[in-house]
């Protein structure tokens, strides 16, 4: 009887981190867009690893608390770690990938060229250290998955998501309007307390004592909020063990944002197979977009940060409605995006007759969400069409665009950059401020967000 070979586990290396190994049976992988991935291995010593770089260098002296996120500091640390585990520098072999200009490319993309500059720093360091580069695929216009097999040190580089696409189904039928309406009406609403908090944040009116009292009456919501608070604020010395302690530690505005986040976790945690490219990918993307939106609001001063955070969390709720159809037509969907190079919403419209922003608007109306948030949900791919709270919509668009370029591999997103310049102008921001913003926000997002 033939003995079955065990399936190798896959370890995802998140942005701004690295993983090294000696003798482990696993495959390391990183999803790369603008980011740059580097694999290094010493075959003789049996030591290797993968590094996932976010930026070329720190943007200021006070932003290097996570040095592995930058090529100038992270690559030397990565080399040092491998040598500490038994590798010899002269035996190391490198593979470099990523640094793409993802999606439709604007003049600002070309001017900033963050991925290209990150790759340049990597190449300079490898040349200085006399480390041989066996394979280099830098640039291009697509996201990719870089994998390193820790058993035979083979490297694989494929367009992101393509390898996971099942054989094409010939029986896929485009859903009708009634089917979509039925799904929207049947979507389980988030808890009433979360809807109440969303309206309070939208109106910028707070009644924290009333909210805290309502949360404490709901044991499930209380437990979820306490766990969520501890995962987000994992660096604090005192653990959150009650709603009162959470309020004391994080303050009332953060507590309200955490209520919305805890409520959305269950709603957005779709299994892998539809929009999500990994477990919980849609939720992770929404949390990251919320963090970037909040940072943009603080930088621009045009929108309340807590409102921006909430809009970022909610912007993709329409994907929950269409998720099952993406799964059913996955191969068709990927082919539209990869081979025909069209925008995500265009592919949705052609295949399903409805885009996720439109599905999100209808769901927001069904839940009676405030109009400014409904507007941001509906037009976050087309902010120039927003009518209410347009600055909020431009802000969510820009946050979503940044996430789609730098935090790929979580969920299916192909955001165009046609409104990049107008978004910066509307928010009073400059393109040269973005590296610092990316540094301060994305370098602070957990490798596995809110795990």
Enter the DSSP assignment of 205: -
Parse the chain into domains and list their residue ranges: 9-160, 177-190+269-442
SS3 349: helix
Which residues on adjacent β-strands are paired with residue 11?
28
Residue-level pLDDT at 359: 93
Which among 321, 57, 58, 348 has a CA at the least distance from the CA of 183?
321
Residue-level pLDDT at 110: 42
* Distances 428 to 27, 170, 425, 438, 439 between C-alpha atoms, Å: 44, 49, 5, 17, 19
The two tokens of residue 214 are 């309502």
How many CA within 13 A on the CB side of residue 302? 18
- DSSP letter for each residue of 73-85: HHHHHHHHHHHHT
- The separation between CA 428 and the C-alpha centre of its own chain, rounded to angstroms, equals 25
Which among 299, 314, 327 has a CA at the least distance from the CA of 423?
299
Which CATH architecture best describes the domain 9-160?
A: 2-Layer Sandwich (3.30)
CATH superfamily entry for domain 177-190+269-442: Hypothetical protein af1432 (1.10.3210.10)
The terminus-to-terminus CA distance of the chain in angstroms comes to 41
Q: How many other CB atoms are there within 10 angstroms of residue 278's CB atom? A: 15
Residue-level pLDDT at 160: 59
CA-CA distance, 45 to 87, in Å (whole number)?
A: 6
> By the 8 A CB rule, do 366 and 184 touch?
yes
Task: Summarize pLDDT for 339-368 with one digit per residue, the tens.
Answer: 566 778 888 888 888 999 999 999 999 999
Task: Summarize pLDDT for 320-337 with one digit per residue, the tens.
Answer: 888 878 777 766 666 666
Query: What stretches in the chain show pLDDT beneath 70?
Result: 1-7, 60-65, 101-112, 139-142, 159-172, 231-238, 250, 270-273, 277-279, 330-341, 389, 407-414, 440-451
Residue-level pLDDT at 411: 63
Residue-level pLDDT at 307: 93
In which region does residue 415 sit, left (phi positive, over 0), alpha (psi from -120 to 50) or beta (all else)? beta
Residue-level pLDDT at 104: 47
Task: Summarize pLDDT for 254-293 with one digit per residue, the tens.
Answer: 778 888 888 888 788 766 567 776 667 788 888 889 988 9
């Amino acid at each position: 009887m033939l003995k079955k070979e065990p399936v190798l586990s896959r370890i995802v290396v998140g942005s701004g981190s690295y993983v090294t190994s000696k003798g482990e049976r696993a495959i390391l992988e990183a999803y790369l867009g603008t980011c740059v991935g580097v694999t290094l291995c010493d075959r003789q010593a049996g030591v290797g690893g993968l590094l996932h770089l976010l930026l070329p260098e720190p943007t200021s002296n006070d932003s290097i608390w996570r040095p592995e996120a930058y090529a100038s500091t992270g690559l030397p640390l990565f080399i040092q770690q491998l040598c500490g585990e038994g590798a010899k520098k002269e035996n190391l072999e490198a593979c470099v990938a990523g640094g793409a200009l993802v999606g439709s490319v604007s003049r600002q993309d070309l001017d900033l060229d963050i991925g290209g500059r990150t790759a340049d720093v990597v190449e300079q360091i490898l040349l200085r250290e006399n480390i041989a580069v066996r394979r280099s695929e830098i640039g291009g216009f697509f996201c990719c998955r870089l994998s390193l097999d820790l058993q035979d040190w083979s490297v694989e580089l494929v367009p992101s998501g393509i390898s996971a696409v099942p054989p094409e189904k010939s029986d896929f039928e485009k859903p009708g309007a009634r089917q979509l309406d039925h799904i929207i009406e049947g979507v389980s609403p988030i808890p009433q307390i979360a809807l109440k908090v969303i309206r309070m944040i939208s109106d910028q009116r707070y009644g924290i004592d009333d909210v805290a009292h309502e949360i404490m009456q709901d044991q499930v919501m209380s437990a979820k909020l306490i766990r969520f608070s501890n995962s987000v604020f994992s660096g604090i010395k005192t653990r959150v063990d009650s709603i009162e302690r959470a309020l004391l530690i994080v303050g009332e505005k953060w507590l309200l944002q955490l209520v919305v986040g805890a409520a959305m976790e269950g709603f957005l945690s779709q299994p892998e197979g539809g929009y999500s490219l990994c477990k919980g990918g849609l939720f992770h993307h929404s949390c990251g977009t919320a963090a970037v939106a909040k940072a943009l609001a603080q930088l621009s001063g045009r929108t309340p940060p807590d409102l921006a955070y909430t809009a970022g969390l909610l912007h993709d709720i329409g994907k929950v409605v269409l998720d099952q159809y993406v799964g059913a037509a996955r191969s068709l969907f990927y082919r539209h995006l990869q081979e025909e190079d069209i925008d995500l919403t265009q592919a949705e419209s052609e295949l399903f007759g409805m885009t996720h922003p439109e599905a999100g608007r209808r769901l927001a109306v069904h839940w009676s969400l405030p109009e400014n948030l409904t507007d941001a949900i509906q037009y976050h791919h087309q902010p120039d069409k927003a009518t209410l709270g347009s600055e909020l919509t431009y802000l969510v668009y820009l946050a979503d665009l940044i996430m789609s370029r730098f935090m790929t591999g979580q969920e299916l997103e192909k955001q165009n950059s046609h409104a990049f310049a107008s978004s910066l102008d509307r928010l009073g921001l400059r393109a040269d401020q973005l590296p610092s913003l990316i540094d301060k926000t994305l370098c602070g997002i957990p490798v596995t967000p809110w795990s």
